[in-house]
Amino acid sequence: MTGGHETGLTDVIPMAPVKNFLRLESAGGIVLMVSAVLAIIAANSPLAGVYGHLLDMPLTVAVGEAAVSKPIVLWINDGLMAIFFLLIGLELKREVLDGELSTARHGASDRPARIRGVRLLLARARDARERRAPALKPIGPRCGAVHARIGPVHDGPCS
């Protein structure tokens, strides 16, 4: 160290563009889209084996004596998706309380269609996940209006 000045990361990389980008409302969506494109490219390239091994690598979270060790793909599917849907729910709540959906005039006309669309989207995502990993199917009957519209899922009390 000479002259009383340390060289830090901010001296090498200008942080103003990064800060400006993170202030954008669409920054999260842009990062999500770029990440998805990079994952698709990696999964369909010669890097597919490395990508698969990376997703199967165990990740351990430990607090004291308690530890949970699962493959990264399960942390993504369970943990990050739970956070994602929590944020979607909070955003929906904000819209209903303070936003476009707060008045009956704005939200009443298309609310049933939005609810049906979300239910159908969630049902299709669940069915796709179960086709991919049949060993992870839930135990017991799955009842609900969504299944009645799509068709019977299995023989049982709800079909």
Mean pLDDT (the chain) is 75
In terms of pLDDT, which residue wins out, 124 or 159? 124
How many domains does the chain divide into? 2
Mean pLDDT over residues 104-119, rounded?
64
Domain boundary among 41, 56, 71: 56
3-state secondary structure of 36: helix
Of the candidates 57, 36, 33, 34, the residue with the CA atom closest to the CA atom of residue 44: 36
Taking the C-alpha atoms of residue 52 and residue 139, their distance in angstroms, rounded to an integer, is 28
Q: What is the reported pLDDT for 106?
A: 56
- The answer to whether residue 125 sits within a structural domain is yes
Instruction: State the residue range of the domain holding 156.
Output: 110-159
- The answer to whether residue 105 sits within a structural domain is no
Whether the model pTM is above 0.75 = no
